[in-house]
Structures are given as C-alpha cells and as structure tokens.
Amino acid sequence: MSASDQAPPRYNLIDLFAGVGGLTRGFQDDSAFGDCTFEPRLMVDIDPEARSVANQNFPDVRYLVRDVHSLSGAELRQRAGMGPKEILHVLVGGPPCQGFSWLGKRALADERNVCILDFLRLVKELRPLVALIENVPLVITVPSSHLRADTNRQCS
C-alpha cells in the first residue's frame, strides 16, 4: 500500500459551549485541513434547543446538555467514549462573551464571564494536544477581579 492509499489521520475533538456546532463544523470542513480528519467525539452546551439543531447537523456526534461548570475532564472523556489514555487531540470552545463584547452590554460583572475559567480548568484536566478558545478581543482587557471562580453559577 502506498502512502497515497492510506487513510488520512483522524484527530479526536471535543467541543465545549458548542451551541449548534459552528466550531465543530469548521473542523469538519475537509478543505480547511488538507490530509487529516477531525472526529468530533462530544459536543457540550447547556441549551437543549441548541442540541436539537446540532443533532440535525451532526447526527452521529454525542451531545451532552449540561453546565460545563459541573463537568470534570474524566466525565467528559467517559461521555465522549474515550479511554483515560486515549489522546484528545483538540479541545475547542466558545465560552459566553456577552460581558466582554462591544456589541453586548460589556457587563464585567456578568456571571457568565467566568466560564472562561471552566474552559481553562478543563484544558488542564484533559491535557489536549491543542486547545482553541473562541472569544472576543476585549477578553484580554478584563481585570482579574472579574474572573473569580464562583461555585454557585452556571456556564451557558
């Protein structure tokens, strides 16, 4: 079998704050990445209506309707059907950005702002080879006092 006859490499992907799956779709676009394929193993979002749309676009991808704040890396691996030693190649996520956006209210006290910390916590727990966080440019201007861990909030 020649190199050109081999199947392209497949890379595992988990999408947090997935919504209807825009980031997942971008990674599934064959033309974007050449000779490799990204295999979405799990999408997670708190919005059940988003799942109904995502299930139409990604019928073979597991979709968990849960608050990301309540999840551990181990549970995400289990829900994605991945063993503890299986490599997670890519973790993507688009935490809520309304509190940072010029188009939004730029409400620095918005409790959803700390969802970024949950994404970073899960990067640490899951140790993916690549982590991509989608957010707005103003997030880097937020004082650290507005990004405190709060155990009594939800990340939507």
What amino acid positions are annotated as catalytic residues?
A: 97
| Helices (runs of H) and strands (runs of E) counted in the chain | 5, 5
Residue 134 neighbours by CB distance under 10 Å: 14
**SS3 label, residue 123:** helix
Report the candidate in 71, 62, 55, 154 with the shortest Cα–Cα distance to residue 112.
154
Dihedral angle sign, alpha carbons of residues 28, 34, 39, 40: negative
